[in-house]
Structure 1
Amino acid sequence: MSTGKQKPDALLDIRDLHAGYTVAGRAGLGRRRVDAVAGVDLAVRPGRTVCIVGESGCGKSTLARAVVGLLQPFAGSVSFAGLDLATAGRRERRRVANDLQMVFQDPYTSLNPRMRVAEIVAEGWHIHKEMAPADEGTEVESLLTQVGLDGSYATRRLHELSGGQCQRVSIARALALRPKLIVCDEAVSALDVSVRAQILNLLADLQRELGIAYLFISHDLDVVRHIADEVAVMYLGTIVEHGTAAQVFESPQHPYTQALLAAAPSVHDRPDTTTTLPLTGEVPSPADPPSGCRFHTRCPLATDLCRTDPPDLRVRTGAPHPSACHYAGEPAAEPAAR
């Protein structure tokens, strides 16, 4: 359940969001709801980058799809620029569509291969009638230049481009309507390391120039360290830790965050708290989540309290930022002795 009022300074304000899918019931009778996102609160302020991290299956992409309206939430609210998108009508959603765009993981499946690059970039203008046809050519060339491509790419099709070039086209298409927020769902995960760095630098440059905010979904902690202002760690549909990038990477509070940092390859130094917390086992199914703390089935520090009482996301005594762990802020070895 949401624990606070909507933040007046937030561009995107997510409150107690539940979203997912329905499956057939037992013996094929009826249908039941599966919450891949189970009560998420999150805010993104103008010009900021908030990163969502977690293992595959934790609900990151479901959250992204619910934010941009590709998935109808079961419950909760998604407010963008003061408008609740979950309950808004078609006309109201259309009014804010220009300001909220998305860049998908795979440009080859999210872009139309039959279209030329100029048609892909201009598609939003045609839908929203935002650009005079006589001006489209100049504007397309300007956008392509802005994302590091020259005007000659306007006449090409996707099969003539590399993966990095296709992702630049995706970003140009998102920029065409001058959005205030772009949701990036694993936008660089399929790219080579060198191309990935170029795209990340491009996104950072665009943010400085245009003041764009990002909700950035990724499982790559080094990417998140490079681009994030804030980090929200997601596990089995819930946020288990949230803080600035420096707080989360330098002083992780939740055992899951500590285990992720210990397991991830990195050229950066790791905090000492990650050395004794290996991540084992599989993520439980969101169709049948564990009772109490959802991480307790994989946590080496779990106690009877963890198995019965779900911890809320808050700042605990001795901890610098919010986490959903009963023992956050205590020495790592202490809970194991309980």
Structure 2
Amino acid sequence: MHARFDAPRFRPARTLPLVLALLAALLAVAVPAAAPAHAAVPDRWGFAYLDNPTPPPGYVPDTTRQWGSWTAPAANPVKVDQVGTGAYVVHFPLIAGPGGIAHATAVNRTGTWCQVQGWGAAGTGLDVKVSCYQPTGAPGNSPFTVLYTASTGAPSTAGGDYGYLFSGLSSSATLTQYNSSGGTNLASHGSTGIWKAWLPGLGGSTPVGNVEVTAVDAAQGARCKVADWFPSATGQTFLVACFDAANVPYDTRWTLSYSVKRAVHGPAFPPKSFGYLWFNAGVPAGTNFNSAGGVNALAAGVPATVTMPGIAVPSDTAHVTAYGSGPGWCQLALPWTRTSGTVKLNPLCFNPGATPVAAPFLTAYTSAF
């Protein structure tokens, strides 16, 4: 069930005065030794873009923006049912199984954001529940992208790094995780709405790769983001910050995925066509990757424009995550476009008052092929 809100007035964002002290304590947590990094190949995965925010029952969303690991995806499409205002169930066929993670990204210019409620097997398929909320906190209809992926088993030896985790509410409550180095990812809870994620054996001593974070909450509207990133030669530490619709730090579950020269859902080559970019007062070289060897470009603006040459191959998907300690959020302003092999993404960020602003973000695009 969705908790429905009266339209609250926005309150000033609560500052995070204990972040530095908390960070020192979190970083002091013992972590396992790093192992050599390897690649993972997901056992099961699927993605889709809901292009109609008020779909009829059994709706088949945009067929050029959905695919998956099941048999004959073109003949067995993803379907979506709307079960309430801003509430959707995405049906991925033939990939039932445990574990894994899901991400969702809203696609609109209004500031309505989307999160994941949960996921699980439904017969032979797998359902991901997505809920969307207006800036007031009231449920709201919106287009969105959604992705599910699950990896198990021993690491492979193909190139690239990949890891994910699904964090519970209590300290060190990792509900599911995968690490291509064979290490164990950890999540530690600090003050309200603040966690540390530790992914050993992945990445490097400077920022490389891409990070995506999504709130997971079945009770009310929640937003989560990457608050900070601390790379090291032994692994990657991320601070995750979560907020409710009133911009107050809030404890909720969340998913995080991290990939280096990998598609956002985990596989190495193939797919041959994917890319990612981190904008944070500039674009660090290691966080700007294009699998075709092209140079991704950023044009600052509201929304921003990210162009990735040579990799626009349907079927495909894209995601955006906000970066920074405050309660602002980011999404896509409109669906990505493809022109002569170049994909164009338009990340759009909002301040706590739901006004579009230029702000840091991480974005990832991948084709299924």
TM normalised by structure 2 equals 0.26
Q: Which has the larger radius of gyration?
A: 1
Report the structure, 1 or 2, having the larger strand content: 2
TM normalised by structure 1 equals 0.28
Report the structure, 1 or 2, having the larger helix content: 1
